[in-house]
Structure 1
């Protein structure tokens, strides 16, 4: 089987590696796993995003699962991954399958598995499915897949509404009265993805002024990946900048399956995910008054740790990838949120998964509580705890060379960089060099692409670009 196993599922190019045959093999392996999963029911929830052929792929996956004797609850429309995950928990299902390639370019599609606990598959689950799928692929064995429409008529597959129960739950979690009283103007960019119509439905129910762009079905995603990065949000940025209003103004964007969040602040500037996580944590501690610990990945800002420690809490650190964050949150009831700098933020008291929809609404709630935009709220935090400047760049390399460069760096054991004394080198994921002034530089090979990722942060003074360039120079001289 040629599908690539990633930190969040399996992906491939449509009609190349992601085909009806490869999906059938993978789903059969998942069915074998789910048959042995412990759960009160034999149900499996299946959903899909708005990519090319996603609905057709979902119907095939549903037929494979139902042919294996599992009861399938198939979404009656496109659905975001967090909504599917929440429904897996609500139905006490054995798991869920989401047909989506998330934020990847339009030529890709994929499959995400969600386990019964309400989060991504654990390491042993992934190993079992990969090994089982490879065995099925080589042997060409497996149950015959019955006709989808026949299974639908027999009740083995049932179409259900996954959207409205999820939205009703969010309305119970949020302080919608405070949002309504602030009377914000909110610009939304679902990037033609599965989050279309979700945040806007909730905000219109509380009479907020909402403008939603890029909500039409467009499997090409306007020619760029549906990822809410600064360079992909020019239309949203321009709308916020053109708005002359004394009211609270905010721009929110979700990726292709709405498990990631991007934001544009009241000044029309990109508001990065590290700041969003910091603001949400501050909101939970100071404005809502809840207590608990947090989880962040090694590439995220130390401001998150500083906020947690300022409130007498702990901040756990994991390797890059939300599955590690989800694993750290699993089995604990003391975690408020977990977040990564690439846009994934999760709330384990909700689901053990990223939820870009709830994260966006919480950000709006935080702003509404103070009638202030995110930039002004961040300034208040910086005035108390200091200013943190964070950046990242990717250095493309020949396939296979990233790991070789990393191994050479490990052997060098650097003590200084540009005359700066390295006070500590951490190797949780990559090489993270910490300096006396609180700044740091992280170099790590990507686990999915032929490149090295360079992260940097400085405290008090913006020296991020200098640190990133140093990182680039170090890698190029290896």
Structure 2
């Protein structure tokens, strides 16, 4: 069917849904809007699906969610009917618009198809869902969230039995089943009937949360410093209207950090995220309310988590009394250094220790790992690839996982969770702050010590948005042009090698060698002096990302200047 036929079919198929009919009727004289809503199905990939809320096949609504839930249920039944029926699927949700409704729809559609659904009794963070999949030994997991996107978005994030996001093969299997279904045939079971038949179970603290918090307490690497300095540490925390409030405050209290001031305006769930433009702790604007509060209460560190509490942002006081928002790389190297230095001092650093980062994350991590005799592994962007590498370590016994992170503010030091964990990261950054207090310094001072020892690293991520029907085509054309005409220089620096992760090759000085990783639409340019640029279309948003990383042995000012030069060169490539 063409877009107009699909539009009319939805008006007919969902005639009993007054809200959907009203929304679609309002755009009947807007063919561009109709086309944008119906020209494609909302895509389902390794991270599930994500999109703008609204009626239509290219929107997040109860019918696209129900179809995704039915397709996932059918795939699970095909793979192992007994596991799907008995072990079931655990389902969580965050504070976004329609999240509770989408979560219940997911549970009841799965129940109708014979898959047991375990639905959380209230909003929960992504890491709790990942933990629950492994802890309860379910066949899969789903969390309704759009992470840090603006309020008009929501998503259906899917997890395999290992608690990690789906592999490409798994996602392809689910997609095949989704595409075999019509939107009007994915019906939910009656809630009370599902409860009575044991196909729906409501879960909460005693089934999952208490054990999750107990697990987090085992991740403390320097209990002595926490005991001594924890009661003195003064923190301001903002959950940015999301799901982090309860677990973050609870775990900090249980390790003896009770002096935590919450940003009241951002404490409670708010699907409109009315105090911020976007609930993203990567953005300094997210801390506009927290910084004056920190000055008022005398706090030296501020942190915030996004609505599904898988990301952590941090602000720290510098030597001049200014609060500085740290980058995701800077937070990551602070946590990495704290873990490795504390474990070395305690004599608990394993000889086969390993850390994992994404290819677009700072190379400063590798330098630190080398200093501590720890092996650093690189994987493609997406925490699922960190989870896959962790599983390899577990299956083979080759390495002991210590820490994994991405520059996009995602961190993990637990093997019981297989996705970014903002609660885990909150505990670690608080412990690192306590370790600094014990030495009479701040987290900012620690970061300067790291730079002075290992070199100064400056980085920037630039996003170019390409919305609408032509956006994907424009992104593909841009990447194809860069492959056909690879640049030889970035600013004043020569390109030494090009890694084309889609082709699986690294080309340097006219010689090509194979890369040992799955294919991905990424171009990575190795430059002189250990600097680099990378181009990557986003897997969840209509944008292409430019990653810029520069380093200097002399000073941060020199690194920043080089970073600006490389950014200008990279942005020119995107034109």
Closer/same/farther in 2, CA of residues 419 and 132 from structure 1, 3 Å limit: same
**TM-fit CA distance, 1:176:** 5.7
Q: How far did 1:39 drift?
A: 5.3
> Partner of 2:423 in structure 1?
357
- Aligned equivalents of 2:541 and 2:122: distance in 1? 32
Match of 2:203 in 1: 160
Aligned to 1:103: 148
For 1:279-294, what aligned pairs fall within 5 Å after superposition?
Answer: 279-289=334-344, 290-291=349-350, 292-294=353-355
Could you tell me how far apart the structure 1 residues matched to 2:235 and 2:160 are? 34
1:177 to partner: Cα distance: 5.7
Matched, 1:221 2:273: yes
Instruction: Tell me, yes or no, if structure 1 residue 446 matches structure 2 residue 497.
Output: no
For the Cα contact (< 8 Å) 1:250–1:264, is it kept in 2?
yes
Instruction: Give me the whole-angstrom Cα distance separating, in 2, the residues matched to 1:418 and 1:318.
Output: 27
Name the structure 1 match of 2:305. 254
Specify which structure has the higher proportion of helix: 2
User: Which of 361, 371, 377 does residue 300 from structure 1 map onto?
Assistant: 361
1:31 to 56, 67, 73: 73
Residue of 559, 566, 571 corresponding to 1:467: 566
SS at match of 2:114: coil
Deviations 1:94-118 (A, max 9, x none): 1111111111111122111121112
Contact 1:228 1:261 in 2 (8 A): yes
Aligned to 2:524: 432
Shift of 1:149: 2.1
Instruction: Between 26-35 and 236-245, report the one with greater CA deviation.
Output: 236-245
Matched, 1:56 2:101: yes
Q: What does residue range 315-334 of structure 1 map to in structure 2 within 5 Å? A: 315-333=376-394, 334=399
Residues 1:7 and 1:186: Cα distance change in structure 2 (over 3 Å): farther
* 1:130 is the counterpart of 2:172: no
Which stretch has the larger CA shift, 218-227 or 75-84? 218-227
- Residue pairs, 1:47-446, within 5 angstroms: 47-137=92-182, 144-161=187-204, 162-174=208-220, 178-182=225-229, 183-205=232-254, 206-213=256-263, 214-222=266-274, 223-229=276-282, 230-244=284-298, 249-267=300-318, 268-289=323-344, 290-291=349-350, 292-333=353-394, 334=399, 335-347=401-413, 349-371=415-437, 372-397=441-466, 399=471, 400-428=473-501, 430-446=522-538
Q: 1:298 Cα shift?
A: 1.9
The DSSP-based 3-state class of the residue aligned with 2:111 is helix
User: What is the Cα deviation at residue 348 of structure 1?
Assistant: 5.0
- Cα 1:177–1:2 change in 2 (3 A) is farther
Q: 1:238 to 1:298 in 2, by over 3 A?
A: farther
1:134: Cα distance to partner? Answer: 0.7
Contact 2:51-2:60 at 8 Å conserved across structures: yes
Task: State the TM-score, normalizing by the size of structure 2.
Answer: 0.77
What secondary structure does 2:211 align onto?
helix
Matched with 2:42 is: 3
Cα displacement string for residues 140-162 of structure 1 (whole angstroms, at most 9, x for unaligned residues): 656x5320122123432121114
Count the aligned residue pairs: 471
CA distance in 2, matches of 1:393, 1:228: 16
Alignment CA distance shift 1:299-1:71 (3 Å): same
Contact persistence 1:240–1:266 (CA under 8 A) = no
CA distance in 2, matches of 1:449, 1:50: 20
1:15-26 alignment, distance < 5 Å: 15-16=54-55, 17-26=59-68
Structure 1 residue 168 displacement after superposition: 2.6
Farther-moved stretch of structure 1 (418-427 vs 76-85): 418-427
> Is the Cα–Cα contact under 8 Å of residues 24 and 60 in structure 1 kept in the other structure?
yes
| Backbone CA RMSD of aligned residues | 2.3
Counterpart-to-counterpart distance in 1, 2:298 and 2:195: 52
What's the secondary structure of 1:409's corresponding residue? helix
Write the deviation string for residues 286-328 of structure 1: whole angstroms up to 9, x where unpaired.
Answer: 1023341122122211101111222223222222222233233
Deviates more, 1:427-436 or 1:286-295: 427-436
The answer as to whether partners of 1:273 and 1:343 remain within 8 angstroms in 2 is yes
3-state SS of 1:395 partner: strand
- Please report the TM-score for the alignment, with normalisation by the length of structure 1: 0.92
Which structure 2 segments of 5+ residues have no match? 1-39, 502-520, 553-557
CA 1:266–1:426 in 2, change beyond 3 Å: closer, same or farther? same
Deviation for aligned residue 1:228:
0.9
- Counterpart Cα distance in 2 of 1:243 and 1:390: 32
